[in-house]
């Protein structure tokens, strides 16, 4: 049990994958959990990652993901609690459940296993035909036993439990051999490519520092180690702030790429969720719900988005990179989406459709309606 009253209950599925129940502080569930009764096939081999010699980036070739479930009906939901007619990934009723992905992009192999990268330095080299085993770990975070919904539809108590799970898993995954960066995120909406309607997110644990974070480290080198404090002070003084608390501020960034884009930063330097304290987690549970519900009030139908929690890498930049939420949505009007066409997709050169200051005012209106 944590100081918040949330209880962690680890167990194992029949193919050896880890499953962890996180019980709300005000749970009505009993402590006992039903064991996994399924007869499961062996886990697929760990994927292989190949280097793109043009950029130095690593691409994981995870062919086992090609046949994953696509938008099943409620009675076949693989993330719902198991029933006599639907044997799922979660054997018992739950508040929040976290388990290893059955078809991961990274893992289950870790550093020291066959074909794993020798070091972070080895991954930074560039050459033709380079490949390694895609070591790491991918986990699914079920926010609720309900078939439909998103983080924004949770109660404050349940939101707090999910945040506790993110913190717990960030610490545990960061300690695994060869893990270089831990990334919690939520994809919401079929327009984003979601294949399950069940309210859930994922956590990817990479064997390298991701391209976006590598670029960030280069910017810190140029601007200074207090880059995030400079950003926070600049944004808090602007008209782009959409929500502010004692410990967190959410704003539309100065150079927003997407029609809807909101960033959120903690007021003190925190490298990842594991470093947050109870007060910060408590306030985040409330503010994050306000923000997501406000974004859903922008139009008459729910807004598709990617909610990405950028965390400092495990072994570099921890004194400089601050935990940051980045929410992005391609929705540029009630019935229009922004597609990444030539300039964005081919060259990575974004063209914004809306002034960030106008977007901030629009989102503030949504928050007030929520």
Q: Which residues does the annotation mark as catalytic?
A: 200
CA atoms of 137 and 247, how far apart (whole Å)? 30
Helix (H) or strand (E) holding 168: helix 156-174
Given a contact cutoff of 8 angstroms between Cβ atoms, the answer to whether 201 and 75 are in contact is no
Minimal CA–CA distance to 303: which of 370, 203, 235? 370
- For 142-205, the DSSP string reads E--SSSS--GGGS-HHHHHHHHHHHHHHHHHHHTSTT--EEEEEEEESGGGT-S--SSEEEEEE
Minimal CA–CA distance to 331: which of 308, 354, 357? 354
Calculate Rg over the CA atoms of the chain. 20
Assign 328 to helix, strand or coil: strand
Given a contact cutoff of 8 angstroms between Cβ atoms, the answer to whether 92 and 21 are in contact is yes
């Amino acid at each position: 049990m944590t100081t918040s009253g949330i209880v962690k209950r680890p167990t194992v599925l029949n193919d050896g994958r880890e499953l962890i129940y996180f019980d709300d502080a005000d749970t009505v569930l009993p402590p006992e959990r039903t064991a996994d009764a399924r007869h499961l096939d062996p886990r697929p081999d760990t994927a292989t990652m190949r280097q793109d010699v043009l950029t130095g980036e690593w691409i994981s070739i995870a062919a086992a993901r090609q046949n994953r479930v696509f938008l099943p009906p409620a009675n076949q939901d693989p993330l719902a609690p198991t029933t006599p007619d639907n044997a799922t990934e979660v054997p018992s009723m739950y508040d929040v459940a976290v388990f290893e992905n059955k078809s991961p992009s990274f893992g289950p192999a870790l550093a020291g296993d066959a074909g794993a990268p020798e070091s972070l330095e080895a991954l930074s080299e560039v050459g033709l035909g380079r490949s390694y085993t895609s070591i790491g770990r991918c986990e699914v975070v079920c926010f609720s036993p309900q078939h439909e919904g998103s983080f924004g539809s949770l109660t404050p108590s349940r939101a707090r439990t999910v945040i506790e799970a993110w913190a717990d898993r960030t610490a545990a995954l960061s300690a695994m051999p060869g893990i270089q960066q831990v990334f919690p995120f939520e994809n919401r909406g079929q327009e984003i490519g979601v294949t399950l309607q069940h309210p859930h997110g994922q956590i990817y644990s990479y064997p390298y520092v991701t391209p976006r974070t590598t670029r960030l480290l280069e910017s810190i080198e140029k601007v200074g180690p207090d880059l995030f404090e400079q950003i926070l002070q600049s944004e808090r003084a602007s008209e782009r702030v959409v929500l502010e608390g004692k410990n967190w501020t959410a704003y539309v960034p100065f150079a927003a790429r997407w029609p809807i884009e909101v960033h959120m930063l903690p007021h003190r330097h925190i490298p990842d969720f594991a470093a947050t304290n109870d007060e910060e987690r408590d306030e985040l549970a409330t503010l994050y719900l306000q923000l997501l519900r406000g974004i859903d009030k922008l139009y008459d139908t729910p807004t598709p988005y990617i909610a990405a929690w950028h965390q400092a890498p495990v072994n570099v930049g921890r004194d400089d990179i601050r935990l940051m939420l980045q929410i992005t949505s391609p929705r540029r009007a009630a019935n229009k989406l922004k597609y990444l066409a030539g300039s964005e997709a081919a060259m990575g050169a974004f063209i914004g459709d809306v002034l960030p200051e106008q977007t901030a005012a629009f989102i503030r209106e949504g928050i007030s309606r929520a």
